[in-house]
A and B are shown apart, each in its own frame.
Chain A
Amino acid sequence: MPATTTLAPVTESSQELRRALTAVDPGRRRKDRAMRGVIYGAFALAMIPLVSLVWSVLTNGLGRFDLYFLTHSMRNVFGGMDAGGVYHALLGTVLITLVTTLISVPIGILTAIYLVEYGQGPLARAVTFFVDVMTGIPSIVAGLFAFALFYLLVGPTRSGLVGSVALAVLMIPVVIRSTEEMLRLVPHELREASYALGVPKWLTIVKVVLRTAVAGITTGVMIAIARVIGETAPLIITVGVTDSINRNVFEGNMMTLPVYVYRQYAAGLVPCAPGDASCIATINYDRAWSAALVLILVVMLLNLVARGVSRWFAPKTRA
């Protein structure tokens, strides 16, 4: 690297000396400026899709987003009818996510407890490694697994439960990761104090460790829910589709919000007879956008509440 500063005669004013010492030769400065531009540009570039996506979901989705849309199903809705809503899909998403959570949370938290409180040796290392690997399972493969599992056990079947198992495969590793992080934050002194009082280990874990970390765990679980609630592919092959309301998770096809978005998109434009005022050609796309808006609102709400929980109920352990 060439010397970039020249020794200024002592007689010169300190201002000039300073300038001479801090001056960078033009080539390097140009490069620095250019790269700064590139890096700012990269960030701006990434904001384009975010803004464009949110904007198009809002502008296209708000049109049909009303109480009617939220409280009606697609039963007996056909062609370009100005009707139909998302109630059955909303219900299906809530039920399936609920079952998924019921499966994933106990397994996830117990595994995290194992890793933090008991885990040593090759088994713990294997579990840690494969939890990482499990986060990378493609969602469609999780769907295939759930389908194959139920196919071999009870024959060909589609139900909310199969979808829940598929989603649980995707959700468990996320729950483990976040819970594990939270449990490791619990100060060791708390455990030792509990042991010193003669409290058995399991009670220490339940009453001291988990209670201290409960806010963080709740946040982690909600973020995990937010992540699986938008999964589409595994549900297409495990839960199927329906236009009617199905409240039974154990039997029959169910509709879910993401699959609803996909189905409405796939239905495409409606060929309307000319002059038919009651027929809306773009009705399917409109419904898809509105359902996408509902879906994004649900996900954002979960994220916000999760962050709120961790902020307001943060463990008061820091001295």
Chain B
Amino acid sequence: MASPTTATTPPAAPARVARTRTKPTDRGLDRAFRYLSVGSGVLILAVLAAVAIFLVLEGLPALTDSELADKVQWIPEGGTLWSLVGPLIFGTVLAALVSLAIAVPVAVGIALFISHYAPRRLASALGYLVDLLAAIPSVVFGLWGVLVLAPRLQPVWQFLADYLGWIPLFEGDAHGNASNPPRVLMTTAVVLAVMILPIITAVSREVFLQVPRLHEEAALALGATRWELVRMAVLPFGRSGVISAAMLGLGRALGETMAVLMILSPGLLYSFQLLVASQQQTIAANIAAKFNDADDIGRSTLIATGLALFVITMLVNMAARWIVARRKDFSGAN
């Protein structure tokens, strides 16, 4: 580790000894400072390991208890831990995927707008507007989503249920209606989509701005319109960047708590009905809703579900980072 830079290397041959004070490169405060900074680097790894270890330790009672269903009231009668975790994972992934399906096209559009369509002078200011969305706390999104957005979306959901109800996702309840008030997964997904929009936009925008100028000029020289330029030069170059941006957004959506907690009416079913209340629930919202009133074994159960969330988001984020890193290695730019 102690590889001195060229600057700190003492003179190679102190032949005329008298005047050269040999410079202590790694003594006293120098060494202390190095240990301090290496130590905090190691601390980061330790913290991440500790997160995993403490979650496992605390979740262990629930993971090993065979009669969990009798002790924890919100596990269905005669079920196991899996009959709680399974539907929760399903709900979490479903909500995140639906919000991703809404957010990615819009985010790519915004990124293209800022990188290739907007007047150059306005571009950075407009980008800042999108970044503002990222600065708004999630609890405010939740408040806005449930009190302002949801009532306005209800007619739209009703329309979907009426005319597209034959698609399983948009199927209404027993009477063919969308739930009212619309505290349903679809509303939640819309709010989540707004929340993950800034990060997907920011990463995509960065990639689109890196498209080699010569590719673009070549396309224009061949007589391409603006859209053909985007399709032939920008999108192929940015594809992996957009994919990793989407996965970063997915990671955010998976772990988002407050918007789901405030908007979604929870249920524990493997249900694809996005417009009906009390069907799904996500892991994060379930923990926040129940943690404070839970007893020891209940808390342990919730921590076990949190462990599942931790593993899922870690995998998604690592995959995203891996794609980004791979792209850096192979793309000609930079």
> Which chain A residue shows the least CB distance to B147?
A285
Chain A residues with CB under 8 Å of B136's CB are: 53, 230, 296, 299
CB within 8 Å of A: which of B104-130? 105-110, 112-114, 117-118, 126, 129-130
Could you count the A-B residue pairs with CB atoms below 8 Å apart for me: how many are there? 280
Chain B residues with CB under 8 Å of A250's CB are: none
CA distance A56 to B117 in the complex (A): 30
Chain B residues with CB under 8 Å of A141's CB are: 51, 55, 255, 306, 309-310, 313
> Which chain A residue shows the least CB distance to B54?
A148
CA distance A288 to B108 in the complex (A): 34
The answer to whether B140 touches A57 (Cβ under 8 A) is: yes
Given A236-B291, A237-B291, A265-B143: A300 in contact with B55 (beta carbons within 8 A): no
The answer to whether B138 touches A232 (Cβ under 8 A) is: yes
A82 within 8 A of B: no
> Which chain B residue shows the least CB distance to A109?
B40
CB distance from B115 to the nearest CB of A (A): 10
B18 within 8 A of A: no
The answer to whether B149 touches A52 (Cβ under 8 A) is: yes
CA distance A205 to B144 in the complex (A): 46
Stretch at the interface among A117-125, A213-221, A273-281: A117-125
B33 within 8 A of A: yes
Chain A residues with CB under 8 Å of B73's CB are: none
Chain B residues with CB under 8 Å of A118's CB are: 1, 34, 37-38
Picked from A50, A107, A192, A292, the residue with its CB within 8 Å of the CB of B40 is: A107
Chain B residues with CB under 8 Å of A115's CB are: 41
> Which chain B residue shows the least CB distance to A107?
B40
Picked from B7, B54, B227, the residue with its CB within 8 Å of the CB of A149 is: B54
> Which chain A residue shows the least CB distance to B322?
A129
The answer to whether A262 touches B139 (Cβ under 8 A) is: yes
Chain A 218-251 interface 0/1 with B at a Cβ cutoff of 8 Å (1 = within): 0000000011011111001100100000000000
CB distance from A297 to the nearest CB of B (A): 11
Chain B residues with CB under 8 Å of A229's CB are: 137
Chain B 302-334 interface 0/1 with A at a Cβ cutoff of 8 Å (1 = within): 110010011001101110010000000000000
Chain B residues with CB under 8 Å of A262's CB are: 139, 142, 258, 261-262
Picked from A49, A110, A130, A139, the residue with its CB within 8 Å of the CB of B255 is: A139
Stretch at the interface among A9-17, A40-48, A69-77, A311-319: A40-48
Chain A residues with CB under 8 Å of B228's CB are: 28, 32
A154 within 8 A of B: no
The answer to whether B33 touches A202 (Cβ under 8 A) is: yes
> Which chain A residue shows the least CB distance to B325?
A129
B215 within 8 A of A: no
The answer to whether A145 touches B117 (Cβ under 8 A) is: no
Given A121-B1, A133-B48, A152-B54: A110 in contact with B37 (beta carbons within 8 A): yes
Chain B interface size band reads 35 or more
Chain A residues with CB under 8 Å of B261's CB are: 233, 262
The answer to whether B37 touches A111 (Cβ under 8 A) is: yes
CA distance A187 to B74 in the complex (A): 59
A211 within 8 A of B: no
The answer to whether A261 touches B306 (Cβ under 8 A) is: no
CA distance A300 to B107 in the complex (A): 23
The answer to whether B43 touches A111 (Cβ under 8 A) is: yes
Chain B residues with CB under 8 Å of A126's CB are: 45
A289 within 8 A of B: yes
CB within 8 Å of B: which of A141-157? 141-142, 144-145, 148-149, 151-152
The answer to whether A45 touches B106 (Cβ under 8 A) is: yes
Picked from B7, B226, B252, the residue with its CB within 8 Å of the CB of A195 is: B7
Chain B residues with CB under 8 Å of A139's CB are: 255, 257
> Which chain B residue shows the least CB distance to A22?
B223
CA distance A57 to B292 in the complex (A): 29
A176 within 8 A of B: yes
CA distance A191 to B33 in the complex (A): 16
CB distance from B209 to the nearest CB of A (A): 15
CB distance from B134 to the nearest CB of A (A): 8
State the A residues within 8 Å of B (CB). Answer: 4-5, 24, 28-29, 31-32, 35-36, 38-43, 45-47, 49-50, 52-53, 56-57, 106-107, 110-111, 113-115, 117-121, 123-124, 126-127, 129-142, 144-145, 148-149, 151-152, 169, 172-173, 176, 191-192, 195-196, 198, 200-203, 205-206, 226-227, 229-233, 236-237, 240, 258-259, 261-262, 265-266, 285, 288-289, 292, 295-296, 299-300, 303
Closest 6 A-B residue pairs measured CB to CB? A138-B255, A230-B137, A42-B109, A195-B7, A136-B317, A202-B33
The 22 sampled A-B contact pairs (Cβ below 8 Å) are A40-B117, A46-B194, A107-B44, A110-B36, A110-B41, A111-B37, A118-B1, A119-B41, A123-B38, A130-B45, A132-B321, A134-B44, A144-B55, A148-B54, A148-B55, A198-B23, A201-B34, A230-B140, A232-B137, A232-B138, A232-B258, A266-B262
State the B residues within 8 Å of A (CB). Answer: 1, 3, 5, 7-8, 23-25, 29-30, 32-34, 36-45, 47-48, 50-51, 54-55, 57-58, 105-110, 112-114, 117-118, 126, 129-130, 132-133, 135-144, 146-149, 194, 197, 201, 223, 225-228, 230, 248, 251-252, 254-258, 261-262, 284, 287-288, 291-292, 302-303, 306, 309-310, 313-314, 316-318, 321
